[in-house]
Amino acid sequence: MLRLAYLLTAAASLASANINFTWVQPSCSPTDTYNKCLRGQHCEGTKCYANIEMPAEHNWNHEALEKREYLAAGFRLAPAQHAHFRLGKRQGLVTTDGSCGTQHGGKVCGNWASGSCCSKYGYCGKTSAYCGDGCQSGPCLTAQGASSKSTTSSSSSTVRALSLTSSTISSVSAVQTGVPTKDGSCGKQNGNTICGSWPSGNCCSEWGYCGKTDVYCGTGCQSGNCLNAQSASYAGASSTSSASTLSSSSAPSNSAAGASSSSTTSSSRSSSSSSSSSSSSSSSSSSSSSSSSSSSSSSSSSSPSSSSSSSSSPAATGLPGTQKVTTDGKCGAANGGTVCGNWALGNCCSSYGYCGNTAAHCGSGCQSGNCVNPPAGQSSSSANGAAATSSSSAIGGNTAVVATSSSSMASSSSMATSSSMATSSSMASSSSSSSSSSAIGGNTAIVATSSSSTASSSSSSSSSSAAASTPSAKSTVDGSCGKQNGNTVCGNWPSGNCCSAYGYCGTGATYCGDGCQSGNCAYPPLSAASASSSSSSSSSSSMSSSQATTMSTASRSSSSSTSSIASSTPSPSVQVTKDGSCGQQYGETVCGNWAAGNCCSMYGYCGNGAAHCGDGCQSGNCTGPPHLPAPGPKAAPANANPGSFKIVGESGVPAMHCGLLPNGKVFFLDKVESFTQLKLPNGDWAYSSEYDPETNTAVPLSYKTNSFCSGGAPLANGRFMSIGGNAPLPWLAPDVGDGFDGIRYLTRPLDNSSMDGQGWDEPGNKLSSPRWYPSAQTLPDGRVFVASGSLNGLAPENASNNNPTYEMLDRNGVSSGQFVKMDLLERAQPYYMYPFIHLLNDGNLFIFAAQISQIFSVGSGATTGTVVKEMPELPGDYRTYPNTGGSVMLPLSKANGYTPDILICGGGPYQDVTAPTEPSCGRIKPLDANPKWEMDAMPDGRVMTEGVLMLDGTVFFVNGAHQGAQGFGVADKPAFTSLLYDPAQPLGQRFTTAATSTIPRMYHSVSIMLEDATVLIAGSNPVQQPILEVSADTPFATEFRVERYTPPYLSNGKQNLRPLNMTLSGTNMTPGPAGSSVLNVRFGLPSATVKDVKVALYYNGYVTHSVHMGHRMVYLEHTGFAVGKTAQNLMVQPPPSNNITPPGYYILFVIADGIPSVGQQIMIN
């Protein structure tokens, strides 16, 4: 604590000296209370890491092509009903963000780039902190992960490294002297210890940690099997008769899928050109007489091996010999001819020069590594006469097989495990045929071509498939199966015949691995006592689970002389994908024979899972209803008068939340931070400020509970309310308590400044349940409707963290103490947080989350809510957190019958820095008899875009990013250029581009209308704690600068034409019939040529996370406008009811020919 106090004091000193200060993360210990890390962080060793951030070695520098393929092929969803929710239960529960384990919905790491071990804290990695004590899954070094470790019969040490062995290749270890490490630290930073036999690897990285990848063994390696000449060498493999063995504890065994066995498994895959060769397999051993390689039943390695009498397999191209091995994931001709070696993401060097293991890396254009197609300048193994060759490569954790035959070939595969269970499949081809199998991201696709005839069958007569569905079992009709779904089996379901533990059909380790209930299971099915053995002539091999998956996929089609897994070939006029993208979003391409599958998902990616072929499938072997089309981006013309941005001040605190107060000032509200620009009188950092737009200065405000990601609303009595938040950080702010159920009030009178600068009042009122990311809406009677939020701030894809309820607060902001379940929020999982809520003119609510919405009646009580009507699903990607777009209700007026017309723009498919953003908009009138979404297109995709109503009736879209999502460090490509949307223009002509800012406004930014009719813009704090300097690691730092956007209606001389000297006869109005509460409004016009005058009531609401809660604008009826005169005296009628204007403070503007006056606030009773 003394060290922390010193750091904070130093920060204050630096700030006061106007020196840029970068916050330093304090040390932590996993055993400390709160770990001295923030919520949303975890402690590994002595450092705090963000849950969604990757270790330094994680390579983000993929081409967009490779990103799409990696995400599309590796991060699929399995359950059909979850196909709508990209963050829902994924295929196999394989992580997409590096989180895992019991804390994060039981996800496993799979082939996560940072490592496949799931630490006891629920994060993926490969060091001892992840694979050591408490490791939950993956190649753990402790008992918890023992089932996924590889051990050899001659040694008890774990086989971790990717090794190339043959009759001419041997491993050369560096000579190490020194004291062996006891905790995985090493080198000069740690007493010159060496790694020795440390399980994670014996290379000591330049940062002083033991491991085995290029990050450890490459540039800067201090000791161990370093890749430089002094430490390690590799001999090239050249032999006329050789066998190559590839072993890896974390690759094809798919240990991350949770596979466990009481005994170890041995697998090797071999093919021989000699027809006299034979092999046998059993549950205890396997051997190949034509190969010099063998494996004992006590070993657990996955070893695809190939043997040929004429040449070695080309699949091992690019392994380190005399070539330079990458140290940053870049490779190939464009990067000095480097090869990938043991690079963590894969050893294939793509045509773009990046290392990886997907089809985009190992497929067409692959320069080196385990290329599916031989790299340029190399030839594949050839066969003469009756000889046949095959090459096998592991891609994304499975096996890809390319086989050619000029005569005839019969192959059979079997898998033996400790439970004496075997699966077998056979494929026979006569005459000249070829087939290729490619497994990507845990799934397998077979592409077969034949000049004569090819037969592919499940070989039920000569071999048995483990736990295959019995003829008497009922086959699925929708892809669901197992005990959860009437004990149906998958049969010939297109996605695969394995029924997963969760009750869905498919292929791959996710479905056929641990927990598989029926079909070609790789392990004993949940309901099976045992499985039959198999035998076959020709060649035989025992396979690991992932290899078995490859073959089971190959055998899933029905017997036919011309059958193929691939679907019907598209017509010549249709463009076939070249990168795995497809559909309306990508030029109407189709998948064709794309290796991952031929179904084009609703999001535009090729695959064969239920998320691709199920609901929304655009083309291919679709099994679900068609995709609801959403338009792609459409170029927009530049606005002739775009307005302008100007930096005017500094916010004092990071502006996560904001609201306009009755005194005309703006409050900014933030979470607990290690640094802000302001301090409270007691010397603590201030986490809230009151900003004066006239002087552009800020003063500090105090609060008692952490308001991190809260919601809020202006109350009917004029006070502002903030609700919910996050946990306390007593090591950082001991005076700030738990904010999950907190309620905070800020009072600012309209008519005096006595409360200016006073902090938030927290008398102890609490919400009925914890809420992080809640939404709120003030109702016509002044009560406040509060909905959604997270119970604990943990992973949103875990339903137990969801708070799918609403609760009622009275007009003074006091909770009823009761909460009620909301079906819509449960269905929106995991996009349930910060739903869009709009008050309709009938007093009901329009509530939207993910892609679904409904009209909801609150009723008169605390628990009387009912669903009035379900809305159609909004096409396109998700629109709410963590892919929030912008939502506004267009201006209401008597002219449009006060009919609610709601616009939602932007969004995205999932929470990742690589995620594309949604360019479409949907517009709907919920109270229509048959409401439908009218779809439109922005010029580009946007996430975190904020819709701000403008006084001329247009909508201003500002802030956000063109790529990524909400969250710390998961967005890129800032949206600097703003947009204007004119709802009065014809469809397709409503968008124009407006002014361009110079400041990135990413996660945690805000925008709000001021009394002078300009828009105040602040915030952007996409980091866990403030960082003030941009760097390679932090491209978007904490932003304190405040901008003001001057709209077109006050630009290019129009500011000189605004109405002047407005005076009001009162400061409140009571809604009701015409004449019940008339307000006299006097003002002057600079010109007698004005043709039209409007009077508007403007309500900002509570602004955070691009959600403007309660935001609305209403044009009021009036009489008395005198055309041709400069002095005006209007009689303004009140709004017809509080359904149109719920109670609270509004800004009243007079608008002359589209140019607004300076506004004044009035109370709507």
pLDDT digits (tens, 9 = 90+) for 729-757: 999 999 999 999 999 999 999 988 999 99
d(Cα 491, Cα 469) in Å, to the nearest integer? Answer: 7
d(Cα 580, Cα 598) in Å, to the nearest integer? Answer: 9
Q: Which amino acid is at 364?
A: S
d(Cα 875, Cα 852) in Å, to the nearest integer? Answer: 10
The residue among 884, 870, 1031 whose CA lies nearest residue 945 is 884
Q: Is the pLDDT of residue 15 over 50?
A: no
CA dist 447 → 438, 444, 646, 651, 1120 (Å): 8, 10, 58, 59, 78
**Which segments of 497-540 are extended strands (E)?**
498-499, 505-506
Write down the pLDDT at residue 27. 54
Which residues lie across from 533 on neighbouring strands?
none
The residue among 967, 838, 674, 695 whose CA lies nearest residue 38 is 674
Q: Which amino acid is at 465?
A: S
Ramachandran sector of residue 799 (left: φ over 0; alpha: ψ -120 to 50; beta: rest) = alpha
d(Cα 267, Cα 247) in Å, to the nearest integer? Answer: 10
Which carries the bigger pLDDT value, residue 375 or residue 1050? Answer: 1050
The residue among 881, 901, 1139 whose CA lies nearest residue 1004 is 881
Give me the long-range contacts of 6-9 (CB less than 8 A, separation at least 24).
7/674, 8/674, 8/675, 8/685
Assess contact for 485 and 380: CB atoms under 8 A: no
* Per-residue pLDDT tens digits for 1039-1048: 999 999 999 9
Assess contact for 176 and 223: CB atoms under 8 A: yes
Specify the pairing of strand 302-307 against strand 267-269. parallel
Write down the pLDDT at residue 31. 53
Q: Is the pLDDT of residue 563 over 70?
A: no
DSSP string, 1040-1073: -EEEEEE-GGGSTTGGGGS-EEEEES-SEE---S
d(Cα 205, Cα 202) in Å, to the nearest integer? Answer: 9
Write down the pLDDT at residue 258. 35
Q: Which residue in this structure is represented by tokens 């385990």? A: 370
Write down the pLDDT at residue 519. 85
d(Cα 672, Cα 666) in Å, to the nearest integer? Answer: 19
Assess contact for 690 and 665: CB atoms under 8 A: yes
Q: Is the pLDDT of residue 260 over 80?
A: no
pLDDT interval class at 43 (50, 70, 90): low
Q: Which two tokens stand for residue 767?
A: 């919400």
Stretch (H or E) spanning 823: helix 823-827
Q: Which two tokens stand for residue 952?
A: 């001329």
pLDDT interval class at 30 (50, 70, 90): low
Q: For the chain, state the CA radius of gyration.
A: 32
- Please tell us whether the domain made up of 1054-1164 is placed in CATH 2.60.40.10: yes
Lowest mean pLDDT among 404-418, 475-489, 650-664: 404-418
Write down the pLDDT at residue 281. 35
pLDDT interval class at 910 (50, 70, 90): confident
Write down the pLDDT at residue 1070. 96
d(Cα 266, Cα 301) in Å, to the nearest integer? Answer: 6
Classify burial at 1113, counting beta carbons within 10 Å of its beta carbon; exposed 0-12, middle 13-18, buried 19 or more. buried
Assess contact for 270 and 286: CB atoms under 8 A: no
- In whole angstroms, what separates CA 372 from the centre of its chain? 29
DSSP string, 425-478: EEEEEESSEEEEEEEETTEEEEEEEESSEEEEE--TTTS--TTPPPTTSPBPSS
Write down the pLDDT at residue 132. 82
Q: Which two tokens stand for residue 979?
A: 């947009």
Q: Which amino acid is at 674?
A: S
**Which segments of 824-895 are extended strands (E)?**
836-839, 845-849, 852-857, 866-870, 886-889
| Summary mean pLDDT of the chain | 74
d(Cα 1145, Cα 189) in Å, to the nearest integer? Answer: 61
Assess contact for 917 and 957: CB atoms under 8 A: no
| Cβ-based neighbours of 1112, under 8 Å, separated by 6 or more | 838, 839, 889, 892, 949, 1099, 1101, 1141
Write down the pLDDT at residue 1099. 99
Ramachandran sector of residue 593 (left: φ over 0; alpha: ψ -120 to 50; beta: rest) = alpha
Write down the pLDDT at residue 817. 96
Write down the pLDDT at residue 68. 32
C-beta atoms surrounding 733 within 10 Å: 17
Q: What is the mean pLDDT of residues 427-452?
A: 34
Lowest mean pLDDT among 498-507, 537-546, 830-839, 1045-1054: 537-546
Write down the pLDDT at residue 344. 65
Write down the pLDDT at residue 1013. 99
Query: Helix, strand or coil for residue 889?
Result: strand
Q: What does pTM read for this prediction?
A: 0.57
Write down the pLDDT at residue 1128. 98
d(Cα 1044, Cα 1050) in Å, to the nearest integer? Answer: 12
Q: What is the mean pLDDT of residues 721-732?
A: 96
Q: Is the pLDDT of residue 70 over 80?
A: no
pLDDT interval class at 897 (50, 70, 90): very high
Which carries the bigger pLDDT value, residue 783 or residue 161? Answer: 783
Write down the pLDDT at residue 263. 35
Classify burial at 78, counting beta carbons within 10 Å of its beta carbon; exposed 0-12, middle 13-18, buried 19 or more. buried
Q: Which two tokens stand for residue 334?
A: 């464009």
Write down the pLDDT at residue 45. 65
Q: Is the pLDDT of residue 156 over 50?
A: no
CA dist 990 → 102, 493, 639, 985, 1106 (Å): 48, 46, 11, 5, 21
Q: Which amino acid is at 701?
A: L
Would 314-379 and 1054-1164 be classified into the same CATH topology? no
Lowest mean pLDDT among 144-148, 225-229, 345-349, 883-887: 144-148
Assess contact for 633 and 940: CB atoms under 8 A: yes
Write down the pLDDT at residue 71. 34
Lowest mean pLDDT among 20-29, 454-463, 982-991, 1123-1132: 454-463
Query: Helix, strand or coil for residue 36?
Result: helix
Write down the pLDDT at residue 595. 87
C-beta atoms surrounding 606 within 10 Å: 34
- In CATH terms, the fold of domain 644-945+955-1050 is Methylamine Dehydrogenase; Chain H (2.130.10)
Lowest mean pLDDT among 628-642, 756-770, 916-930, 1143-1157: 628-642
Residue percentage of the chain with pLDDT more than 90: 44
Torsion of CA 408, 409, 410, 413, to 10 degrees: -170
Write down the pLDDT at residue 657. 99
Q: Is the pLDDT of residue 537 over 50?
A: no
Which carries the bigger pLDDT value, residue 508 or residue 11? Answer: 508
d(Cα 1094, Cα 1100) in Å, to the nearest integer? Answer: 19
| Cβ-based neighbours of 406, under 8 Å, separated by 6 or more | 383, 384, 385, 386, 387, 388, 432
Write down the pLDDT at residue 573. 59
Assess contact for 112 and 101: CB atoms under 8 A: no
Lowest mean pLDDT among 80-89, 284-293, 300-309, 478-487: 80-89
Domain ranges of the chain: 23-145, 314-379, 644-945+955-1050, 1054-1164
Write down the pLDDT at residue 201. 82
Write down the pLDDT at residue 694. 98
DSSP state, 619? B
Backbone angles phi, psi at 130, to 5 degrees: -100, -45
Write down the architecture of domain 314-379 according to CATH: 2-Layer Sandwich (3.30)
Which carries the bigger pLDDT value, residue 325 or residue 470? Answer: 325
Q: Is the pLDDT of residue 965 over 50?
A: yes
d(Cα 926, Cα 491) in Å, to the nearest integer? Answer: 43
pLDDT interval class at 1108 (50, 70, 90): very high
Q: Which two tokens stand for residue 407?
A: 């005569």
Q: Is the pLDDT of residue 61 over 80?
A: no
**Which segments of 515-661 are extended strands (E)?**
599-600, 606-607, 644-650, 657-660
Query: Helix, strand or coil for residue 131?
Result: helix
DSSP state, 34? G
Which carries the bigger pLDDT value, residue 654 or residue 915? Answer: 654
Stretch (H or E) spanning 280: strand 279-281
Specify the pairing of strand 836-839 against strand 845-849. antiparallel
Which carries the bigger pLDDT value, residue 533 or residue 1070? Answer: 1070
Question: Does the CA dihedral 28-31-35-40 come out positive or negative?
Answer: positive
Q: Is the pLDDT of residue 82 over 50?
A: no
